[in-house]
Structure 1
Amino acid sequence: MITKEMIEFVARFEHDPVGFVKAMYPWGEGELEGQYPQTWQLELLSSVAEKMQYDPMKVQRYATGSGHGIGKSAVNAWLIEWALYTKVDAKAVITANTDTQLRTKTWVELSKWHRLNIASEMFVYTATSLYSADPAHEKTWRADAIPWSKSNPAAFAGLHNKGSRILLVFDEASEIDDVIWDVAEGAMTDDDTEILWFAFGNRTRNTGKFNDCFGKDKSRWDTRKIDSRTVEVTNKRLLQEWVDYYGIDSDFVKVRILGEPPSSGEYQFIGRDIVEAARARTLDYHSYQFAPAVIGVDPAWLGKDEASIYVRKGNWSKLLYTEAKSDDHKAFAHRIALYEDEYRAAAVCIDMGYGTGVYSEGKALGRRWHLIPFASTKCDMGYFNKRAEMWGSIKQWLIEGGALDPLDKDIADELMLPELVASNNGTIKLQRKEDMAYSPNRADALALTFAVRLKASSYGLPAQKAKAGKQALRYDPLKAMY
């Protein structure tokens, strides 16, 4: 029977998940004989407690990448129970990489800890939910296990709970599609609400939103990497056997023991190891004056895509320009022409997708630019289309000494984004842009610098073309340019 004293006791832990976990379960007794929370678990809960007590209304984000067997499911269960028990009308949504994982592991673990909770009568556990035993609150005070669906992410758009608390848990987060992350992020906008988001899992991919938590989005996430060998309850003998057999630098050990991402995903075309090596190189532009400059242009028109311009001279490369949309063809063409003259480019290659208007403006300027159809099958043997061939050239260039622009913080992630897909003729084929989390416009611009083969006699052409054609001018929309 739930008493007033028990309710008041639980309420003491509103912003103290550490105290809640220690107080609400019979540690060292019965089923938990010889068992206590592990060090990393208490450190995570302590971090939550510290931030909640300092500023409970600030959105809290926690990402934990780990090896196997460290007790992630137990922490999930504790967080769900703490979030509900200590805040009236709190809401929680829990999802996992697959429906099977969610039902047979994540939610089953919650069943165990709810059964052990000394105040278990306060909530009703079912196969898909945990809700208040008070009939007046059973619809508003609850946690639900919800499988995610890329084609129907609406369940993660209804996380609003103004004035109370929202808990969102992603288990095995690497395999949860980026669209679910985006929808969840956009839904958690309520003011005057405690919002907590936890992502757990093995880092099975080196791209995607979970990976970004430890990389470009690290400033927004409280992150931790848990090596399975440092956790009290893991089988150290088996873990060492894996290390000895596969090697400490193997992807198997990185993902399943160290809590690190693999160097290369199972279907990833350009692996992290290749990209990181290229990022570490520092090349002097002046050392490549002998090499012809090639400019790649990937215009953009829709959605979140950005128009990008890249230049490459030998193993040196640089991002020249980006903008949200290249919808002013005349202005964009003049900008390209300015870069062409500045770098005395031997070739300018433009993606045909949204580039025909820009190409036409360049033609009016007397520029001999190249319009490149990514889907063209006029490519080297072994590649499915022109796009795959250009990306194959990037990969080889990176392996053989190509260096990435150190000021471009996004190019590395974009280069690792495309995955291989099956082709009907056994050639190398990359997944469609429509199937990616976002369009790798910068990487496509860099790829376009490999679109044409140059003849030695063409290296001096840019200066001649500039004299023969119209000079590039800074575009002024109030003046007629020609």
Structure 2
Amino acid sequence: MNKSAVVIPYSPRPVQAQIHPQLESHRFCVLVTHRQLGKTVCAVNHLLKKALQNPLPHARYFYIAPFLKQAKMIAWDYVKRYTAPLPDVTVNESELAVCLPNGARIWVCGADNPDALRGTYADGVVLDEYAQIKPDVFTEIIRPMLLSREGWAVFMGTPKGQNAFFELFNRAQKSALAEPAVWWTGVFRADESGVISPAELARLKDETPDTIFRQEYLCDFTASAENVLIPIDSVLSACSRSYSPAEVRFAPKIMGIDPARFGDDRSVIFCRQGLQAFAPLVFRRLDNMTLADRAARQINIFRPDGVFVDAGCGGGVIDRLRQLGFCVTEVPFGGASLYPEQYANKRAEMWGEMRDWLKAGGALPPLPELKADLCQVCYDYDAAGRMRLEPKEKLKERCGQSPDLADALALTFAAPVRPRNSGTKEFAGCEYDVI
């Protein structure tokens, strides 16, 4: 077959064009999308392209939805539409299968009869609306199908609470850190994808119950949870606000530094002046001496009235900054709160003050990583009725990484600060940088 003569009649949307390279370059992908993004069209065309390019004999690919009727309604028409212009394609309506000119086959199936897939192999599998598919369908049936050909899998869907899809997404985030060439996770919210116009999205928000809107269009796994400290709509509102330098001129300038040193966590420098938070500096695998030098340079630029550093991993940063002549305050996250009757420890206090700051009109840089960090922390109350946060170790185990950006911002609420440099040069903000 002359591969150059085969052209799939598909023009991806800009957001789909962002997704395809990730599906091409990773064996296991977890794709979380809002409604009407076009994930099924994206997945069907990914299946089709991989099937046409496969040089192995008798290649087999599967699109699987929770129910066969649903799979036929969602994907079968797309499979036929995009294969119709191709030469020598055979369509089997009874089996919901197509045979391509190179002999590869694509089946459209339902997970409601998974035993029908036992005993075969697969070069690639798409599992759509994974939140509605029983987890053992993949572990007991689909995963063994991928062994002989070292096949790939795409898990995709829209959140439906903290269920098996949520757990898979969290595990995939950790796997992506351990094996970045093998695993990939992507989250595409309606307010970021560009698929739904802002005016239409605003109408949807007005017409749709809050929990459903956050879940279906903002990809919020915690929408139905009652113990999330900072809901995503509060974060999105903050991301839509900004203040001019004149509006925050007389507010104190505060810097939070959350060192991570080596490992998977991120070292973060966050600057805030009053209600305006600026884009942070983010570093990976940076030793404390180098981070201290970066922080010193940023202190000279920002000229903060207060600098707070996490004492957990930041001892070297604190000592070095003091050696350089800077006044910094070390903050033990597990230390006592300034308001011991309200918060169980310093960490809960800082996050609680940050939550109140958002409600009062705080403005955030619109960074996906920051949004995710802020919205994943849960809370409860101890025996004395004081608020406490989910332990950081448990949070990292659940979500795959520590909320480092949010912790750095929370550090700017470690203690009250008075402005000293109201007459200094206006700060334009950091350039967002990941190293």
Q: How do 1:438-457 residues align onto structure 2 when only pairs under 5 Å count?
A: 438-455=401-418
Q: What amino acid is the match of 1:447?
A: A
In 2: Cα distance, 1:349 partner to 1:285 partner: 22
Alpha-carbon distance, 1:296 to partner: 0.3
Quick check: 1:311–1:446 contact (8 Å CA) kept in 2? yes
Match of 1:122 in 2: none
Q: Among 242, 245, 256, which residue is 1:296 paired with? A: 256
Partner SS for 1:376: coil
What SS does the aligned partner of 2:207 have?
A: coil
1:412 aligns with 2:387: no
Q: Distance in 1 between matches of 2:236 and 2:380?
A: 24
Give 1:130's aligned residue. 116
Give the aligned CA root-mean-square deviation in angstroms.
5.1
Which residue of structure 2 lines up, in the alignment, with residue 135 of structure 1? none
Change (3 A) 1:377 1:52: same
Equivalence map 1:175-254=2 (5 Å): 175=163, 176=165, 177=167, 178-182=169-173, 212-214=187-189, 248-254=207-213
Tell me the secondary structure at the aligned position of residue 379 of structure 1.
coil
User: Once the 2 structures are TM-superposed, how far is the Cα of residue 374 of structure 1 from its aligned partner?
Assistant: 0.6
| Structure 2 partner of 1:386 | 346
Question: 1:404 offset after TM fit, Å?
Answer: 0.9
Aligned mate of 1:75, from 70, 73, 80: 70
SS at 1:130's partner residue? helix
Task: Answer whether contact 2:256 2:410 (CA < 8 A) is retained.
Answer: yes
> Partner residue of 2:317?
358
Separation of aligned partners in 2, 1:400 and 1:183: 34
Which amino acid in the other structure matches residue 171 of structure 2? I
Please say if 1:346 is aligned against 2:341: no
Give the structure 2 partner of residue 426 of structure 1: 385
Over 3 Å counting, the alpha-carbon distance change for 1:162 and 1:391 in structure 2 is same
Per-residue Cα deviation, 1:174-232 (whole angstroms, up to 9, x for no partner)? 42213333478789979xxxx9x9xxxxxxxxxxx67x24369969xxx99xxxxxxxx
Give the conservation status (yes or no) of the 8 Å contact 2:121–2:148: no
Q: TM-score, normalised by structure 2?
A: 0.60
SS of structure 1 residue aligned to 2:237: helix
Question: 8 Å contact 1:295–1:449 — kept in the other structure?
Answer: yes
1:288-334 Cα offsets, whole Å, 9 max, x none, are 2222211100011243211110111111121342210331x233223
SS in 2 for 1:297: strand
CA deviation digits over 1:27-55, x for unaligned, max 9? Answer: xxxxxxxxxxxxx99x8766655454455
Contact 2:121 2:146 in 1 (8 A): no
Q: Distance in 1 between matches of 2:313 and 2:387?
A: 24
In the aligned structure 2, how far is the partner of 1:155 from the partner of 1:346?
Answer: 59
Residue 319 of structure 1 aligns to a residue whose secondary structure is: coil
Residue in structure 2 matched with residue 369 of structure 1 by the alignment = 328
Residue identity in the other structure for 1:180: R
**1:298-337 correspondence runs (5 A):** 298-327=258-287, 329-337=288-296
State whether residues 148 and 180 of structure 1, in contact with CA within 8 Å, keep that contact through their aligned partners in structure 2: no
In structure 2, C-alpha distance between the alignment counterparts of 1:172 and 1:461, rounded to whole Å? 47
How far apart are the structure 1 equivalents of 2:53 and 2:393?
34
| More relative contact order, 1 or 2 (CA 8 Å, 6+ apart) | 2
TM-score by length of 1: 0.55
Post-superposition Cα deviations, 1:418-443, rounded to whole Å, max 9, x if no partner, equal 11235333222221222231211111
Structure 2 distance, partners of 1:159, 1:353, is 46
Q: CA shift at 1:159, angstroms?
A: 7.2
- Conserved? CA contact 1:160–1:188, under 8 Å: no
Any conservation in 2 of the 1:160–1:187 contact (CA below 8 Å)? no
Q: Distance in 2 between matches of 1:324 and 1:409?
A: 17
Amino acid at match of 2:353: S
Q: Which runs of 5+ in 2 are unaligned?
A: 1-7, 10-34, 55-60, 77-93, 128-132, 197-203, 425-435
Equivalent residue number for residue 227 of structure 1:
none
Asked whether the equivalents of residues 298 and 355 of structure 1 are also in contact (C-alpha less than 8 Å), the reply is yes
Give the corresponding residue for 1:397.
357
- Cα 1:58/1:343, change in 2 over 3 Å: farther
Aligned partner of residue 384 in structure 2, secondary structure: coil
CA shift, 1:387, in A, is 0.8
Deviates more, 1:43-52 or 1:422-431: 43-52
Displacement of 1:253: 4.7
In 2, Cα distance between equivalents of 1:378 and 1:434: 20
In 2, the alpha carbon distance for the partners of 1:56 and 1:287 equals 57
Answer yes or no: is the 8 Å Cα contact 2:253–2:272 preserved in 1: yes
In structure 2, relative to structure 1, the CA distance for the partners of 1:254 and 1:189 (3 Å cut) is same
